[in-house]
Amino acid sequence: MTGTRKRTSAATDAATATSAAAFLEGQEITTTGCGRCGTEISGVNGRYACGNCGWVNHWSEGHTELPAYTPAGDAAVSGPGAGVPDPGRGDRLTES
């Protein structure tokens, strides 16, 4: 199935490229041994996933803080515990 991609203006493409370049500048490719099978794996900012055995390290083990996430259309969630799943409410996030 093929589709037609809508063309964007050069200004939009330039703004997107500038934004992407600024984001990528803060990223670092890091390498370690897999915590399960020992395969040498690479990740971004100390966050890894092994394609050989499926092992992933915990998100908190990264070298940098993760950016905040606000789902489109949802009110911003902020404060202590924001964005942390509340076990008493299923998979919904806590709000402060």
Backbone angles phi, psi at 30, to 5 degrees: -120, 155
Cβ-proximal residues to 46 (8 Å cutoff; 6+ apart), any chain: 30, 32, 57, 61, 62, 63, 64
The answer, yes or no, to whether residue 74 has pLDDT greater than 90, is no
Condensed to tens digits (0 to 9), the pLDDT of residues 78-90 reads 555 555 555 554 5
Higher pLDDT, residue 70 or 51: 51
Distance CA 54, CA 29 (A): 19
> What average pLDDT does this structure show over 14-33?
89
The answer, yes or no, to whether residue 50 has pLDDT greater than 80, is yes
The C-alpha torsion from 78 through 43 and 38 to 60, rounded to 10°, is -10
